[in-house]
């Protein structure tokens, strides 16, 4: 009797999956935005998010960080996002049979463990997402961002942290991920003084930011020093682009403060990134790059608006700037060319997207015609730079 009942239950369950899949396929899926895992993507987190108080398990933290790479200011406030279950494999290394359990746990964490963001008039305490819909038949999770959190996740503030997603994908501890972001932020803020940063923080403040349980003593096995500091130090050296060491500062016999010394990790530095930075340190180097990638080949590296008309900017065989609008060609003198070089160099120094396009010799006119998403992202970058008074 029980066997017949089990067979019937299985049959009903399979039938429901088929019905769910048919109903799902009939929906308009173009209304939701697909988020993909890609270590090459760049993460931008507002400074207040980096310093906010929260604690998530490693998978949930990677989940929300991956989502941030796909957010755009142009997204609708009610935008629905899709995460394919199979992409969790890259975040976790789990086998397929364990992925569905991991998805459930990650969504649960994002719903149940809020973050605390102090601000000028008090604080914001909220969940990361406002509900999650797991569709087993197609292996997807759909969810929406909590509305008041969106401006922070879209790095609407002027101060934000920037890094490549791949730096956190192989970190196993949530403390290691949080420590990476905090230390990376400190290093970037101080890099104008070289490739090293030093920062002193009270142990109490570090506990609060990372939400380390009070039951963790500082020293001893399983304490803050062992589970948070030393473990993070080892993982960051192995998997990320930064290194750190720390010194204990005592008040009496008790450790009350920590001094962190953060440097770049030469083992995991990206050669291509260093190459790009050299091109964008001076106008001379920038012009050399433009001549290498845009001289005499009909490609355009920028545009200039004249009398409300956009002229695509290119370089002739002699490396001189010209502009094209429809059939009209306009040549620019040395002074005008210098102004154009200065403008687009400043854009390259503040827009990683434009920097990558120029380094690869991408024609912006072809980009505008053939890849609307990237083109709109570039225009959005330039609009933001104008609003912030950078250009």
Pairing state of beta strands 140-145 and 160-164?
unpaired
Give the model confidence (pLDDT) of 85-96 as tens digits: 877 776 677 776
Length of the chain: 391
From 2.60.40.1180, 3.10.105.10, 3.40.1710.10, 1.10.10.10, which CATH number describes the 2-169 domain? 1.10.10.10
CA distance 78 to 312: 36
- The SS3 of residue 226 is helix
Residue 143 banded pLDDT, cuts 50, 70, 90: confident
Contact of 364 with 312, CB cutoff 8 Å: yes
Residue 283's contacts (CB-CB under 8 Å, 6 or more residues apart) are: 338, 341, 342, 345
Candidates 302, 342, 307; CA nearest to 322 is: 302
> What are the boundaries of each domain within the chain?
2-169, 174-268, 271-387
> Once rounded to an integer, what is the mean pLDDT over residues 43-56?
85
Residue 178 banded pLDDT, cuts 50, 70, 90: very high
Protein fold of 174-268: Arc Repressor Mutant, subunit A (1.10.10)
> Once rounded to an integer, what is the mean pLDDT over residues 44-59?
86
> CA-CA-CA-CA torsion for 234, 237, 241, 247, nearest 10 degrees?
70
Q: Does residue 278 surpass a pLDDT of 80?
A: no
Query: What tokens appear for 269 in the block?
Result: 């530095």
The number of C-alpha atoms within 13 Å of 81 and in the hemisphere containing its C-beta is 24
CA distance 58 to 51: 17
Candidates 187, 317, 307, 194; CA nearest to 240 is: 187
Residue 218 banded pLDDT, cuts 50, 70, 90: very high
> Once rounded to an integer, what is the mean pLDDT over residues 180-206?
83
pLDDT of residue 267: 77
Instruction: Confirm whether 2-169 and 174-268 share one CATH topology.
Output: yes
pLDDT of residue 119: 78
């Amino acid at each position: 009797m029980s066997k017949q009942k089990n067979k019937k239950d299985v049959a009903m369950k399979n039938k429901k999956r088929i019905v769910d899949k048919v109903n799902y396929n009939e929906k308009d899926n173009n209304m939701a935005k697909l988020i993909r895992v890609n270590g090459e993507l760049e993460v931008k987190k507002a400074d207040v998010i980096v310093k906010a108080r929260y604690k998530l398990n490693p998978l949930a933290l990677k989940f929300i960080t991956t989502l941030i790479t796909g957010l755009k200011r142009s997204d609708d406030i009610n935008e629905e996002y899709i995460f394919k279950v199979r992409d969790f494999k890259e975040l976790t290394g789990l086998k397929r049979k364990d992925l569905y359990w991991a998805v459930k746990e990650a969504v649960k964490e994002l719903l149940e463990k809020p973050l605390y963001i102090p601000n000028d008039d008090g604080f914001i305490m909220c969940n990361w997402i406002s509900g999650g819909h797991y569709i087993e038949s197609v292996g997807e999770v759909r969810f929406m961002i909590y509305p008041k959190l969106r401006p922070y996740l879209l790095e609407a503030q002027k101060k934000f942290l920037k890094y490549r997603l791949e730096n956190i994908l192989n970190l196993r501890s949530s403390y290691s991920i949080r420590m990476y972001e905090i230390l990376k932020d400190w290093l970037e803020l101080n890099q104008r003084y070289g490739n090293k940063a030093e920062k002193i923080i009270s142990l109490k403040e570090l506990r609060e930011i990372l939400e380390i349980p009070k039951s963790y003593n500082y020293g001893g096995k399983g304490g803050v020093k062992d589970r948070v500091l030393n473990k993070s130090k080892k993982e960051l050296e192995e998997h990320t682009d930064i290194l750190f060491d720390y010194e204990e500062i005592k008040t009496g016999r008790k450790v009350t403060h920590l001094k962190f010394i953060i440097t770049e990790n030469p083992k995991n530095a990206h050669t291509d990134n260093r190459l790009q930075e050299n091109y964008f340190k001076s106008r001379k180097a920038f012009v050399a790059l433009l001549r290498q990638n845009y001289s005499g080949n009909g490609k355009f590296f920028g545009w200039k608006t004249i009398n409300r008309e956009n002229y695509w900017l290119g370089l002739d065989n002699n490396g001189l700037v010209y502009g094209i609008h429809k059939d009209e060609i306009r040549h620019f003198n040395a002074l005008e060319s210098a102004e154009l070089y200065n403008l687009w160099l400043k854009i390259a120094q503040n827009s990683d997207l434009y920097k990558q396009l120029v380094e690869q010799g991408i024609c912006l006119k072809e980009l505008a015609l053939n890849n609307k998403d990237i083109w709109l992202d570039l225009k959005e970058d330039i609009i933001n730079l104008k609003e912030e008074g950078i250009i």
